[in-house]
Structures are given as C-alpha cells and as structure tokens.
Amino acid sequence: MIHIENNVFTLHTRRTTYQLKADAHGVLLHTYYGARIGSDDLSPLIQLVDRGFSPNPNELGRERNYSLDTLPQEYSSCGVGDYRMPAVVVQNADGSHLADLRFQKYETRPGKYALPGLPAFYGAEADTLVITLEDHVTRLAVELYYGVFEEYDLICRAARIANHGGASVQLLRACSACLDFPRDDLDFITFDGRHTMERELCRTPVRPGVQSVGSVRGTSSHQHNPFVMLCERNADEDHGLCFGAALLYSGGFEAAVESNQFHDARFTIGITPHHFCWTLEPGDSFTTPEAAFICSPDGFAAMSHRWHRAIRTHLCRDPYKGRRRPLLVNNWEATLFDFDADKLVEIAAAAAPLGIDMLVMDDGWFGTRSSDFGGLGDWTVNESKLPGGLEALVPRVKALGLDFGLWIEPEMVSEDSELYRAHPDWAFHAPNRAPSRGRSQLVLDFTRADVRDYIYDTLCQVLRNADIRYLKWDFNRSLSDVWSVALPPERQGEVYHRYILGLYDMLERFHRDFPDLLIEGCSGGGGRFDAGMLYYTPQIWCSDNTDAIDRLRIHYGTSFCYPVSSMGSHVSAVPNGQTGRTTPLETRGIVAMSGAFGYELDLSEASPEERAIMKRQNEDYHKYYNLIHFGDYYRLTNPFENERYTAWEHVSEDKREALVSLVKGTARAALPCLTLRLRGLDESLRYRVNGEGSWLGGTLMHAGYPIPTGGGDYRAIQLHLTAE
Ligand code: DGJ
C-alpha cells in the first residue's frame, strides 16, 4: 500500500514500512525503512546541524545547517556537495561531473512496473510509484520506480535516466538503488566463493569507509553473489532487523556499503561502474536493472521465507513456477565427452525402473566436440557419436519412458569450429590483439543481433527436429577482450551491459517460442546464480561441486535468498570427482533432494543394493515434493560453525507436516548425545515422527528430539513429521 501526503511517500508492506519525502528544497530524503509503523512524516527525525566541510546548496544563502553531505537521500547525486557514494555519476557535455537531482513530480500505477528487456518481479497485486527527479541545468531526469508487494515485504526499485536536455551526457555510474540508514552499527553479509565452492557466507561489521563486493567478469560470478544483507549486530535466524538486497542482473555488479563520518550508512547496488560508460544523446534514456529489497524485523529465517515465495511466485514464470520439475539423470560426470547413443540409452534404460523422468545429454553431442578444445558454435549433431541424429536417439529414450533434455552453451565459440572459421569477427576481440582464451574458448559478441539470430536459428532447428523438453544453458568462462566491431570507440563502454541485454533477448525468445521448455541455467555450476537468471531459468545448476558435504555449505549460503526449487542438485558417484570424498548414497540423496533433484552418474553400473536405495530416494522425493518445493525452509544449523552435523527443515504452510534432514560430519568416538531443536512447528499440535510417538510441537522446538549417535562418517537422518 502506498500512502502519499504532502510529498511524503510511505510504502507499507505487511510487516515493514519504507518512507521518503521530497523536502522544501526538492531534495528527495529517505526517512525510514524498518518494522511497520504509521504514515507520519518522519523527516523531523533528521537533525540539521552545521557541519564543517559539508557544503550548503547555493539557494540557501547564509544558511549552513543544510547539506547534501549529511542528509539521508533516496538517490544521491554527484559533484554538488555530497561526498558519500553517488547513485549516479555523469559527464556532461561541458566536461563537468555534476548532477543535482531535485523533485519534479510523481505518479502511482496499479500493478507492478515492468522493465523492457530486463528481468523484473511481476504481479498485478503490487503497486507502483514513480518519482521523477531532474537536474535543472542539464535536464537530466531520473525516474525512480518502486514496486510494492505487500504480502512478501518486497520492495523493488529501478531507475530510468533520461536526457531531456539538448546535449549528450555520458553515464559513468547508474545504480539501481541507494539506501541510507541513520546508523552504522550493522553487519554486512555477503556470499562469496570460487568455482566449485560458491556462496560461502561472510559476515563483517560495517566499518568506516566503503566495503564492497562485486564482479567485473561480465557475469554475476562464482566469486561474489549479487545478493547481500545488512543486519543488526545481534541479528540471527529468529531475531533482529535485517535487510536483504538482490540485484536482478547476470552481469558485472557492485554492492557497497559506506559508513561516513557521522556513522550513517549508505548502501548502493547496481551495475559495476568498471568499464561502464553509456552515452545518452538528447532524447535517449537508460534503464537500470531491478534491485529488490526485503526487510525482516525478526531475523533471517522470516526474510528467507519471503524471498523464496516471492521468487517462486512473482519472478519465476509459468509454466514451471508451479509445475513439477523432472527428476533427471545427466551423463556428464558419468561419461564426460566419451559417450555414444548406445551408452546414453543404456543409462536411460537403467534410469527408467528407478522412476527417473528425463535423460539429459550433456556436453559433447555436436560438431567435432570430443574435448573442450573445439566444436562450440557448431550446433549440429555429431553423427559419428549419434548416428541418425537426435531424430534417432530421442525416440529410443522416449520408448523407455523418459523425456529428453540437452546441454548447450550458446554464447561461446571454439576457434576449432566451422563457425569461428567462417566468422572470426563474431568473437570478442580488440583490434590488433589476440584474445585470451578461457577453457580454450572465446565469447560470441551477443551485443550483435546478427550473431544472436544465427545462434538462435541453429538451435531452433535442433529443438524442432526432436522432442526436447529441457535445456541446460551453460557458460564456462569469464569475459575478457570485450570490444565489439558493431560499436564505435566512444560506445565501447556499453558493451558489457549490451551483452547481458543480448543474453536476455535470447532467453526471452526461447521463453516465447518454446513455452513448455524448461531451461536450467548454469555457468560452470553457480557462476551466474542470480535473480536475473531465475526470471528465464527457474532452476540453476548450483555448483560443479557435487560432493554432498561441500554442498551442505553451498546450499546453506544459497538458501538465504534463493528457494530450493532453484538449486539444481544431483547425486553423483563416489569417491567424489571434486573432493575425493566417499559419502553414503543415502546421504547424497538426502542432500540433493532438497533441490531440483537428479542423478549424475552411470546408473548402468549401480549395484542392486544401490538401485534399491535410489528407487526409495525417488519415491521419497515425489512424496515430499510439495513440502520441499513449496514449504518454508529453516536452517537449523550453520555448517560454517558446526562441523559435527548440519540440519535443515521444510515445514508446510499449514505447519501440519515437516521434513527434517540432518547430516553428520566425520565420526568420532564417545561424542555427547545430540538433541535437535526443530523450528517452525505449531506449538500446540502433536506430531508423529516417522510414524511413531506423539510429540508436542512446543516440545520438539524448545526441548528437542533425540538423534541417534554413531553410524559412521557422514551419516544422514531424515525425520518426517505429521500432525495427528
Ligand atoms: C560445466 C557444467 O557445470 C557441467 O555440469 C558440465 O555441463 C560441463 N560444463 C560441460 O562442459
């Protein structure tokens, strides 16, 4: 709900309030964000004090206690007296770097705004507010968009920057949002890592100066995720004020927090300003990606529940936002590049009796690709591996009762490919320089419509020739040598962002033309695991690390923002290919089933005992599907702090059913007995645990449930609770 009175704009969600005010000088102040309160004007909380070295706007004459440098602002301008991080930086035609943004007008609209060509939350039940600011000299206008989803406490923001003046302007920084807090006694939580070990939680106190995470790789990256949090120092799963911020963007980003001289904090999030320079000719505009915020007055768990629901229902799109995801077997870790049609059919035949829904043929099916040195770009079937092509293979798999899915990496080209030999200029490279290779491959210039059209058309032919239900869309390097033959030198600063717009254009075309196709995102696992991709690909391969114990940490970090339905997660063989660790098959199943579940091993080699376990796992996955995919997810332990065991829980919305999963660490003798306290249950309901006993919800939550000791390394336990 949006309440507007005397230029005070109060955005109410069910549990939070966000307020801004255009003051008498036209400065858009940020007055409050936190637990839900009324709609009173909160600007009297801002005390005006004469501060040395904090300049005063010229129109204030001798007045010295009003300074942009000390006021909490909604979208900070640049070069006119605020020395904290600007939301926008420009270079005007006269060479100055000034933008003094003042309030012009506002409008409200029913429903959630959309952003052309960019991913965004959607929903008719949301409300939109648009506030326009303008620099009266250059006539650079900034439209600030707000989308308010009451039920999820979700506030979405974006900015459209338009040149209404008569001279060109260069945008050097254009944040999606800026958020000022009248305090800096906060922690900054980020999710950092590397290829095969993504999204490890890092929590640090906000300290004087700027702290930031981001990516200059052209992707959202394995290294830092475009979801971050700010929270009170004592905040934990159940207590304390916390704010989550997600950028719906799959390219380079920056999320930064600055504590200033008076211990106020400013947070900004948006496209990385590194290599960014966008020219706005008179009449042009630039729209930032969307940033989304959820504030929880009562800890992390409640915040995560709202992110999960909002992403599942208002970001992921039909038909797969509600449709059951296929339980799949992927041949990558089973065969790597070394497979043929008979091998795939053998795996499918072994999968069918286990209740597996789909076979996914991974990398190596096209062109001359027999290793990662060649073939990318040639999206025609390699008939020496697959005689008769997909037209012959897919019916064989379907005859066994499985659907068929396919791996692609459309944004890449190998130098050893027909495509590269015909169009070397289609790959990113700068004049007179040989481009760096990543995984021995180059990146296609997706800023160019002709390049995208060609790739799209060749992939369409593949999709139209066989019954393909799923694509795994991979991306296996970071960008380098970014320069486009299609743009003049002065516009090369636009290439990184235009690349992402090209990617989104391609994904949107697939969504439009193949509405039933499920696309799983992937970038060497979780290198592009972001809310932007989830608009097009409702699940993303979480990590190239399939080790169940490492996955506990990866899933933990990922779960703060992203729902389990988004996390591609498979059982693989042991010893694990990434870590060399051997874990029980039951444990691998329990870990992977809290995600978009599947297998990644040669099922034809599984023993009868293993097959019996897998069959049970698949039955359990179907039995618990709604609970896992649509229930509330509780982190019961933090695997970064507790090495003895990791536990998590899914609770149905009506609290009548829950599934608790617990994985132990390495076994040790004579450990203390373990009592696990559950969460999210109804205190007054009685529950049966795995069909036995009668436990009061309050008892299970406050006193706990006894977990049997022993059992060896990495043993897992699952408890299914049903209300009596
Ligand atoms: C990286 C992916 O994450 C893997 O699962 C696999 O698809 C390989 N690429 C194939 O090259």
Residue-wise pLDDT tens digits, 644-688 = 999 999 999 999 999 999 999 999 999 999 999 999 999 999 999
Quick one: pLDDT at residue 687? Answer: 98
Parallel, antiparallel or unpaired: strands 403-408 and 358-361: parallel
Rounded distance, CA 607 to CA 585, Å?
A: 12
Q: What percent of the chain has pLDDT over 90?
A: 99
Instruction: Indicate left, alpha or beta for 683 from its phi (over 0: left) and psi (-120 to 50: alpha).
Output: alpha
User: pLDDT tens, 392-445?
Assistant: 999 999 999 999 999 999 999 999 999 999 999 999 999 999 999 999 999 999
Residue 318 among the catalytic residues: no
Given 127, 180, 520, 530, which residue is catalytic? 530
Average pLDDT on 288-303 reads 98
**What does 605-672 look like in DSSP terms, one character per residue?**
G--HHHHHHHHHHHHHHHHTHHHHHHSEEEE-S-TTT-SSEEEEEEE-TTSSEEEEEEEE-S--TTPP
Question: Binning pLDDT at 50, 70 and 90, where does residue 643 land?
Answer: confident
Which CB contacts under 8 angstroms, 24+ apart, belong to 494-497?
494/276, 494/277, 494/278, 494/279, 494/447, 495/275, 495/447, 496/218, 496/251, 496/252, 496/275, 496/276, 497/251, 497/271, 497/276, 497/278
Question: Ligand 1: which residues within 6 Å by Cβ?
Answer: 332, 362-363, 407, 474, 476, 522, 524-525, 541, 544
pTM of the model: 0.97
Sign of CA dihedral 302, 304, 305, 309: positive
pLDDT, tens only, 573-630: 999 999 999 999 999 999 999 999 999 999 999 999 999 999 999 999 999 999 999 9
For residue 561, report the distance from its CA to the centre of ligand 1, in Å: 24
Query: Pick the catalytic residue: 284, 298, 610, 682?
Result: 610
Q: Encode pLDDT of 53-96 as tens digits.
A: 999 999 999 999 999 999 999 999 999 999 999 999 999 999 99
Residue 610 is a catalytic residue? yes
Across the strands, what pairs with 456? none
Ligand 1 centroid to Cα of residue 543, in Å, is: 10
Res. 711 pLDDT band, cuts 50 70 90: confident
Tell me the average pLDDT of the chain.
97
Report, as an integer, the average pLDDT of 228-252. Answer: 98
CA 386 / ligand 1 centre spacing (Å): 20
